[in-house]
Structure 1
Amino acid sequence: MPDSRNQQVVVVTGASAGVGRAVARAFGARGAKVALLARGEKGLEAAAGEVREAGGTALPVPVDVADHAAVDAAATRAEEELGPVDVWVNNAFSSVFAPFTETGPEEFERTTDVTYLGYVNGTRAALDRMLPRDRGTIVQVGSALAYRGIPLQAAYCGAKHAIQGFTESLRCELLHDRSNVRITMVQLPAVNTPQFDWLLSRLPRRAQPVPPIYQPEPAARAVLHAADHPRRREYWLGGPTVATLVANRLFPGLLDRYLARTGYDSQQTDEPRDPHRPVNLWEPADGPEGRDFGTHGSFDDRSADRSPQLWAVRHRGLLTAAGTAAAAAGAVAVRAARR
């Protein structure tokens, strides 16, 4: 029997690099029709080529997600050329690596426009098309930083917190309306993406993800699993994400002091920052004079390509059955021992 997921129409924002590109390629491997939204045309075209090579149909659409009219127009084009959108994945972001006092008001506002309002714009465009059909799934790619702020990333953490609150509010409204449109969120750990090569940074040393680091592919698998099982309100990828969110619930004050002590060094390598590196806050780093940055960042040798915690989530039924069987065997053994 054919898998209906092969016929899906999917929109992925931030699809020119990193997690968004890995997600687009993974949907392409299913044979899906994928609209790839991002600003950088070089990265978009390369990502579209990877979707086609994987077996899918690709429609690259250059767009700034901070522009709500442009996002809506991109959604219209996706439906005209590919068909009704089944899954919309919000992933695009930009940010600044710097203390809050060294982040300009325009830079903070731009980060918020892209990283938070970009999700709002994408969600609105998706709902405008999904609600009349009473079907569809929206996946918000989040972060452990949607719950736990860390130093040197105030703009990004603020935006991720805002996405979390916005998504919870919208989920309640969809439930109230008894809508069959689903929305879910995937909270990610540190991921080896090109963001550390192109985000605006005022740190003295080169920025890095806080170890342990994961590759974009496990994140993509988590997003696809969430798209297939959207009734679960949220997914957490990786042990570090789980540990961080649990610790923040139980000991937020201790975590404040721990991050104050370790958060600066853990987000920087020993190398000095290159003052001539590209910056994508205002313009795409892979613009006319730029290059395709690909899916991975510069930390392949330190990044994991699998997550045991994700495996456990995806095979929860198997684990439950195994646990039940083990418990039953244990009960039998106890009764036998008592005879």
Structure 2
Amino acid sequence: MASQIAVITGAGSGIGRAAALALGRAGFDIALLGRNKARLDETARDLTRHGIRSLAIEQDVADPQGVQDAAERIEHELGPIAVWANCAGATVIGQTAVLAPQDIRRATEVTYLGSVYGTLAALNVMRRRGQGTIINLDLAPALRGLPLQAAESGARAALRGFCASLRPELRHDGDRIRVVMIDLPAINTPRYGLTRNRTGKRLKPYGAVYEPEVAAEAICRAAFGSSHSISIGLGALLDPLRALVAPFYREARLADHGYKAQMSYDWTEGTQPDGLYEPVAGAFGAHGPFDEKSRRLDSPLSIFVPSNLRAGLFGALAAMALASLAGHMKKSRKD
């Protein structure tokens, strides 16, 4: 694997930086894409210290031609791209009614279209060889549809549908190119302090929060494995079941508790810098400010039980729940 090339977007900080280091240790040479050259160079220096070749390219993923040009440059200077991981993302958080349309558009351009442009650039070079792995990030079921997160939820849902349509097309054409979606819970990255925030309060993770190395390990599993979907945490199994059995309960609970679960008690002072349109200056590593409450290991269920088997377990549990509900309703009608 030493001669294989992995491309990471959003590689200057957060999940992208952790993934670059993890794939580098796994034997890949790494191409780093991001908007802040200084942070990319810092990541590249970390890779160099471990004897890993790298190439840092300053590039906004919302520019389709720029992303395609970057892919061609990587193929020319590093070698054939085997793995492409779309880790770049940006969003705006706040009640939907008060969000500026241009902010929603920009969040969609970076998170959804940026991943689409990365996928298309990867496909263009990988189809020359008929093989490769493209990795995109999704929200764990527990994070889908959160209040205040309409821009992020919409972008990830669009990406989920895009990848679902792409897979059968690749299979139809006989390409051995895998498109893997990774369902992520809250990850402790610097984004909580760098996101455009319209709530007036400081942001915090919703639910269980994991260190970025856990997400990076899932990206490595996607690169070396055969699954089309990888989930982190036990909630990946339980949350869809709860949503199926009691969908109105979740909506009511999010209405009652979803706001305060994402905001601290501290009000922000004035307008805070954010990275929605331009990167915020400064050095930011992989980790955010929540190390003390973050989990450093994935659930054993996620690690040792394949995604397809977990899907089967979920289906079986859902069927049992529906059968029990149907039996209860039938008994009620008889009574």
TM-score after normalising by structure 1: 0.87
* Counterpart position of 2:230: 235
Q: Which among 294, 311, 316 is matched to residue 303 of structure 1? A: 294
In structure 1, what is the equivalent of residue 192 of structure 2? 196
The answer to whether structure 1 residue 254 and structure 2 residue 245 are counterparts is no
Match of 2:7 in 1: 11
CA gap of 1:232–1:249, structure 2 versus 1, over 3 A, is: farther
Q: Distance in 1 between matches of 2:159 and 2:142?
A: 7
1:46 partner letter: E
State the Cα distance separating 1:278 from its structure 2 match: 1.9
Shift of 1:31: 3.3
Q: Which amino acid aligns with 2:260?
A: D
Matching residue of 1:92: 88
Q: 2:284 aligns with which of 263, 286, 293?
A: 293
Return the match for 1:181 from 171, 177, 182.
177
Aligned length: 308
Matched, 1:266 2:261: yes
Cα 1:124–1:204 shift into 2, 3 Å: same
Identity between Structure 1 and Structure 2 (%): 38
| Contact 1:11–1:36 (CA under 8 A) maintained in structure 2 | yes
Are residues 20 and 313 of structure 1, via their aligned partners in 2, closer, same or farther at CA, if it must alter by over 3 Å? farther
- Whole-Å separation in 2 of the counterparts to 1:15 and 1:195: 13
Amino acid at match of 2:200: P
Q: Which residue identity does 1:15 align to in structure 2?
A: A
**CA offset digits 1:14-48 (Å, max 9, x no partner):** 11111111000111112321001110122211111
The residue that corresponds to 2:327 in the other structure is: none
Do the aligned partners of residues 51 and 249 (structure 1) sit closer, same or farther apart at CA in structure 2, a change above 3 Å counting? farther
The normalised TM-score by structure 2 is: 0.88
Counterpart among 19, 23, 32 of residue 19 in structure 2: 23
Measured in 2, the distance between the counterparts of 1:17 and 1:237 equals: 20
Are residue 205 (structure 1) and residue 201 (structure 2) matched?
yes
| SS of alignment partner, residue 6 of structure 1 | coil
Q: What displacement does 1:249 show?
A: 3.4
Are 2:38 and 1:46 aligned?
Answer: no
**Using a 3 Å threshold, how does the CA distance of structure 1 residues 315 and 130 change in structure 2: closer, same or farther?**
closer
Deviations 1:253-306 (A, max 9, x none): 221111111110000112222434321001011xxxx21111100111110111
Indicate whether 1:275 and 2:246 are aligned. no
Q: 1:215 aligns with which of 187, 201, 211?
A: 211
**Inter-partner Cα distance in structure 1 for 2:115 and 2:205:** 22
Partner AA of 2:272 in structure 1: R
Contact 2:14 2:285 (C-alpha < 8 Å) held by counterparts: yes
Q: For 2:206 and 2:71, how far apart are their aligned partners in 1?
A: 35
